[in-house]
Amino acid sequence: MKNLIEPHGSSTLNPLFIEDIQKRERILQDADNMKKVLINSAAAANVVMLGAGYFNPLEGFMGKNDAFSVAENLVTENGLFWPIPIINLTKIDDNFAVGEKIALLDPNIEGNPIIAVQEISEITSLNDDELQLLTHKIFGTTDTEHPGVANFLSLGNVMLAGNIQVLNYSYFPEDFPGTFYTAPEIRDMLAKANWGTTVAFQTRNPMHRAHEELCKMALERVEADGVLIHMTLGKLKDGDIPGDIRNKAIEKMVELYFPENTVMITGFGFDMLYAGPREALLHAVFRQNCGCTHLIVGRDHAGVGDYYGPFEAQENFDLDIVKKSLKLKIFSADHTAYSKKLNKVVMMRDVKDHNKDDFVLLSGTKVREMLSNGEELPEEFARKEVAEILMKYYQSL
């Protein structure tokens, strides 16, 4: 049996979901008598990630010192490498007391059931300058046209810190059966498949030919046992394709165009931040927690608009603190395009003898336009069977 890579920051995973059913019931009963807070979707996504072991070894929401230390220096006060503050920001200051336990209500399920219990270790009101500083450090900008910035600045300025006990995984298991998995479950799957070297591919979109070839290149070049296609299942920005459609398209592509037993299709319950370079580092942390040894980091990874340089995310992995802290390595990908000369998708840096007329390039915007108009996508860009699923969706809008 091949050994799996160790989780980040500890020798074993520490998921915060309460597995013991009776204990969970007792906590739920106690929570009925606690003060309750309807948290926002961003905090609820953090709860799910903490519960599912993705944010190992964190034990809850960060306080002010940890949050600002992470924002400024990529480490918590006690020196743990961490790329983005994991915080419970709210607009509610409900006379809570330090040491008090409160019930966190899920904003994403009708009736707002209790998703977790938090023991408050610190209550901090951030002023505008502090919020702006945090925003700038996380997103590299404070421009509210950036969807991640706009969302972050809408959450509130009261930070509730403290350890949590997670009681459920929100809507993810029900809405994405067979796709949503926790970090311990993925580690078990990799161990059973005897995959010692696993490449993770992060996606919030359906996979086109370029993505497919990128996974195949990584598989071959790092001599991996398999690829973990790992989808963002949480809230996306307007215009992104919903999870169920994306899932269907990816399953079809894997079934028809990948060698058997080389791909696992999974998803995680997190809302996209669109924080580019910082979010790429977070993606690496939680892929290591899943047991992956490599993460594909391509052009404008987790970015949006023109806020980040095309390879800024890759450059972050050259920082000393990152190299010292992460066991996972990245597979750096260049622009990919279809080569008319070679009749296949290539990384553009690998074909020095090509000029721009030798490539077929299509923008995501152009593709969406074509699909909406019922136009067939070029074979060079998308597999026919995948394009059919997407076209059907676009024409139903």
Among this protein's residues, is 78 annotated catalytic?
A: no
Last residue of a domain, one of 146, 169, 192: 169
Q: Are 265 and 179 in contact (CB under 8 A)?
A: yes
Identified catalytic residue from 204, 287, 316, 349: 204
pLDDT of residue 363: 65
Which tokens go with 303?
Answer: 């970015």
Structural domain contains residue 7:
no
Is 194 a domain residue? yes
Whether 2 has a pLDDT exceeding 80, the answer reads yes
pLDDT in tens, 73-91: 999 999 999 999 999 999 9
Higher-pLDDT residue of 159 and 356 is 159
Looking at 163-167, 204-208, 303-307, which range is the least confident one?
204-208
Residue 82 counted as domain residue: yes
Instruction: Give the domain extent around 245.
Output: 174-268+274-396
Taking residues 286-304, report their average pLDDT.
Answer: 95
Do 226 and 107 lie in a common domain?
no
For 220, the token pair is 């071959």
- Which spans in the chain are helix H? 21-31, 41-51, 64-73, 128-139, 147-152, 172-175, 183-193, 209-221, 243-257, 276-290, 312-316, 320-325, 364-372, 384-396
Q: How far apart are CA 328 and CA 96, in angstroms?
A: 40
Residue 289: both structure tokens together: 């927690």
Q: pLDDT band at residue 261, thresholds of 50, 70 and 90?
A: very high
Determine the Cα–Cα distance for residues 282 and 301; give it in Å rounded to an integer.
11
How many C-beta atoms lie closer than 10 Å to residue 125's C-beta?
11
Residues 232, 333, single domain; the answer is yes
Residue 185 CB contacts under 8 Å (≥ 6 apart), including other chains: none
The 10s digit of each residue's pLDDT in 63-72 is: 999 999 999 9
3 state SS of 144: coil
Domain total of the chain? 2
Q: Is residue 9 part of a domain?
A: no
Question: What pLDDT is recorded for position 260?
Answer: 94
Q: Is a pLDDT exceeding 90 seen at residue 198?
A: yes
Distances (CA, A) of 67 to 231, 308, 333: 26, 23, 31
CATH of the domain at 290: 3.40.50.620
3-state secondary structure of 80: coil
Give me the amino acid identity at 119.
E
Prediction pTM value: 0.94
Examine the pLDDT at 372 and tell me if it is beyond 90.
no
Q: Indicate if 73 belongs to the active site.
A: no
Q: How confident is the model at residue 94 (pLDDT cuts 50, 70, 90)?
A: confident
Residue of higher predicted confidence among 134 and 340: 134
Residue 128 clears pLDDT 80, i.e. is over it: yes
With beta carbons less than 8 A apart as the criterion, state whether 84 and 138 touch. Answer: yes
- Do 230 and 353 lie in a common domain? yes
Among 104, 113, 157, 111, CA closest to 132: 157
pLDDT score for 214: 92
Task: State which of 140, 169, 198 marks the end of a domain.
Answer: 169
CA distances 197 to 225, 301, 331, Å, are 6, 22, 12
Rounded Cα distance between 362 and 354, Å, is 17
d(CA 390, CA 388): 5
Domain assignment present for 388? yes
Instruction: Tell me how far apart the alpha carbons of residues 357 and 354 are, in angstroms, rounded to a whole number.
Output: 8
Residues 253 and 286 in one domain: yes
Answer yes or no: is 2 within a domain. no
Please pick, among 205, 355, 368, 373, the residue that the annotation labels catalytic.
205
Asked if residue 223 and residue 357 are part of one domain, the reply reads yes
C-alpha distances out from residue 339 to 80, 186, 296, 352, 353, Å: 44, 35, 21, 12, 11
Give the integer Cα–Cα distance in Å for 347 and 337.
7
140 & 198 share domain: no
Answer whether residue 326 is part of any domain. Answer: yes
Is there a single domain that holds both residue 254 and residue 351?
yes
pLDDT digits (tens, 9 = 90+) for 342-366: 888 888 888 899 988 888 876 666 7
**Does the structure show a pLDDT above 90 at 236?**
no
Q: Is residue 1 part of a domain?
A: no
Q: What is the mean pLDDT of residues 152-167?
A: 98
Task: Assign residue 94 the CATH number of its domain.
Answer: 3.10.400.10
Q: What does the CA dihedral 283, 289, 291, 297 come to, rounded to 10 degrees?
A: 10
Phi and psi for 198 in degrees, rounded to 5?
-130, 135
130 and 246 share one domain: no
Q: H helices within 308-383, ranges in order?
A: 312-316, 320-325, 364-372
Two tokens, residue 192: 């059973």
Mean pLDDT of the chain: 94
pLDDT score of 197: 98
If we measure between CA atoms, which residue out of 200, 237, 268 comes closest to residue 364? Answer: 237
More confident: 150 or 380: 150
Residues 323 and 222 in one domain: yes
Last residue of a domain, one of 115, 139, 169: 169
Can you list the pairs that 131-136 forms with residues at least 24 positions away whose Cβ atoms lie under 8 Å?
A: 131/157, 133/68, 133/71, 134/67, 134/68, 134/71, 134/85
Q: Is 75 in contact with 100 (CB distance < 8 Å)?
A: no
Q: What is the dihedral of CA 269, 227, 287, 48, to 10 degrees?
A: 10
The tokens describing 221, both together, are: 């070049």
Residue 395: pLDDT band by 50, 70, 90 thresholds? Answer: confident
Same structural domain for residues 238 and 384? yes
Give the pLDDT score at 239. Answer: 72
**pLDDT tens digits for 321-346?**
999 999 999 999 887 888 888 888 88
Same-domain pairing of 105 and 234: no
pLDDT digits (tens, 9 = 90+) for 201-226: 999 888 888 899 999 999 999 999 99
Residues 153, 232, single domain; the answer is no
Residue 281 has pLDDT above 70, yes or no: yes
pLDDT tens digits for range 99-113: 999 999 999 999 999
The percentage of the chain sitting over the pLDDT mark of 90, rounded to a whole number, equals 77
What's residue 346's pLDDT?
A: 86
